[in-house]
Amino acid sequence: MSLQHFLEHRDAMALRLRKSLDDLLYSHRSYLRPSQVHRIAIDEIDSFLGYLQDEDLGKVTARAALRAEQGLSLEAVLKVVTGLNEACHLWIPCEDQPNAVVTINAYSTALMQGYTQAREAIILNEQERIRGALQRTLVRYNLWLQTSAEVSRVATSTLNLNKFLTASVNLIRGNLGFHAVSLFLLSKENPNVAALMASSSGLEPSVPKKYQRLKVPGASLVSQCLIKGQPLVVSDVLAAEVNDDRTILADSRSIVVLPLISRAKVIGGILIQSVDLAAFNEEDVTRLQTLADQLANAIQNARLYHELEAHSESLSQAVYARTIELQKTKERAEAILNNSPDGILLLGSDGTIELCNPAFYDMFEYNEREIISQPLKRLAEAKSVEATNKLLHASLTEGLTKRVEIVAQRKDETTFNAGMALAAMYTAGELSGFVCSLRDITEQVRAEERIKASLREKEVLLREIHHRVKNNLQVISSLLALQAGYTDDDHANQLFRESQNRVRSMALVHERLYQSHDLARIDFAEYVHELVGRLFRSYVIDQDKVQLEITADAVYLDIDMAIPCGLIINELVSNALKHAFPDERHGKVMVNLRTDSNGLHTIIVRDDGVGFPEGLNVHKTESLGLQLVTSLAGQLNATIGLLQTGGTTFEIRFALPKESEFVSTPRNKRLKAGART
Q: Is the confidence at residue 677, as pLDDT, over 50?
A: no
Cα angle: 96, vertex 99, 100; to 5 degrees: 80
| Separation of alpha carbons 205 and 110, rounded Å | 66
Q: Is the confidence at residue 56, as pLDDT, over 80?
A: yes
Q: What are phi and psi of 570, to 5 degrees?
A: -60, -45
Going by C-alpha positions, the residue among 230, 231, 323, 206 that lies closest to residue 281 is 231
Complete DSSP assignment for 514-532? HHSS-SSEEEHHHHHHHHH
Q: Is the confidence at residue 555, as pLDDT, over 70?
A: yes
| Separation of alpha carbons 419 and 363, rounded Å | 13
Domain boundaries in the chain? Answer: 3-129, 158-308, 340-440, 520-677
Q: Is the confidence at residue 676, as pLDDT, over 50?
A: no
Q: Which residues contact 311 (CB under 8 A, 6 or more apart)?
A: none
**Given phi > 0 = left and psi -120 to 50 = alpha, else beta, which region is 584?**
left
> What pLDDT is recorded for position 516?
65
Q: Is the confidence at residue 427, as pLDDT, over 90?
A: no
Going by C-alpha positions, the residue among 635, 628, 370, 643 that lies closest to residue 503 is 628
> What pLDDT is recorded for position 256?
92
Q: Which residues contact 149 (CB under 8 A, 6 or more apart)?
A: none
Contact (CB, 8 A) for 409 and 415: yes
* Residue range 271-288: mean pLDDT, rounded: 89
Contact (CB, 8 A) for 169 and 200: yes
> What pLDDT is recorded for position 184?
92
> What pLDDT is recorded for position 672?
34
Contact (CB, 8 A) for 44 and 59: no
Which one-letter DSSP state was computed for residue 159? -
Question: Which range is most confident: 260-269, 423-432, 511-520?
Answer: 260-269
> What pLDDT is recorded for position 668?
38
> What pLDDT is recorded for position 660?
43
Q: Which of 165-169, 436-440, 542-546, 553-557 has the least mean pLDDT?
A: 542-546
More confident residue, 314 or 541: 314
Fold match between domain 3-129 and domain 340-440: no
Q: Which of 17-21, 258-262, 602-606, 651-655 has the least mean pLDDT?
A: 17-21
| Separation of alpha carbons 295 and 289, rounded Å | 10
Summarised one tens digit per residue, pLDDT across range 442-501 is: 888 888 888 877 776 666 666 666 666 767 777 787 777 777 777 777 777 777 777 777
Q: Which amino acid is at 59?
A: K
The mean pLDDT of the chain is 80
Which one-letter DSSP state was computed for residue 352? B
Query: Tell me, which fold does domain 520-677 have in CATH?
Result: Heat Shock Protein 90 (3.30.565)
pLDDT band at 77 (very low <50, low <70, confident <90, very high): confident
Whole-number CA gyration radius for the chain: 62
**Given phi > 0 = left and psi -120 to 50 = alpha, else beta, which region is 428?**
left
Compute CA distances 114 → 55, 59, 64, 105, 417, whole Å. Answer: 15, 10, 5, 14, 130
pLDDT band at 230 (very low <50, low <70, confident <90, very high): very high
* Residue range 54-82: mean pLDDT, rounded: 82
Going by C-alpha positions, the residue among 610, 606, 605 that lies closest to residue 581 is 610
pLDDT band at 203 (very low <50, low <70, confident <90, very high): low
Summarised one tens digit per residue, pLDDT across range 498-530 is: 777 777 777 777 676 666 666 678 788 888 888
Query: Which H or E run contains 140?
Result: helix 97-157
Q: Is the confidence at residue 259, as pLDDT, over 90?
A: yes
* Rounded percentage of the chain residues whose pLDDT exceeds 70: 88
> What pLDDT is recorded for position 564?
85
Complete DSSP assignment for 6-60? HHHTHHHHHHHHHHHHHHHHTSTT----HHHHHHHHHHHHHHHHHHHHH--HHHH
> What pLDDT is recorded for position 604?
92
> What pLDDT is recorded for position 2?
61
Q: Which residues contact 242 (CB under 8 A, 6 or more apart)?
A: 221, 234, 248, 255
* Rounded percentage of the chain residues whose pLDDT exceeds 90: 5
Q: Which residues contact 370 (CB under 8 A, 6 or more apart)?
A: 411
> What pLDDT is recorded for position 665?
37
* Residue range 616-628: mean pLDDT, rounded: 75
3-state SS string for 287-299: HHHHHHHHHHHHH
Q: Which residues contact 595 (CB under 8 A, 6 or more apart)?
A: 553, 555, 601, 602, 661, 663
Q: What is the dihedral of CA 510, 516, 522, 523, to 10 degrees?
A: -130
> What pLDDT is recorded for position 89?
79
> What pLDDT is recorded for position 81?
83
Homologous superfamily assigned to 340-440: PAS domain (3.30.450.20)
Contact (CB, 8 A) for 141 and 148: no
| Separation of alpha carbons 223 and 266, rounded Å | 11
35 bridge partner residues: none
Task: Give the architecture (CATH level 2) of 3-129.
Answer: Orthogonal Bundle (1.10)
> What pLDDT is recorded for position 674?
34
pLDDT band at 598 (very low <50, low <70, confident <90, very high): confident
Going by C-alpha positions, the residue among 538, 542, 525, 543 that lies closest to residue 671 is 543
More confident residue, 421 or 665: 421
Complete DSSP assignment for 487-524? ---HHHHHHHHHHHHHHHHHHHHHHHHHHSS-SSEEEH
Task: Give the architecture (CATH level 2) of 158-308.
Answer: 2-Layer Sandwich (3.30)
Complete DSSP assignment for 225-259? HHHHTS-EEES-HHHHT-TT-TTS-TT--EEEEEE
Q: 3-class DSSP state for residue 389?
A: helix
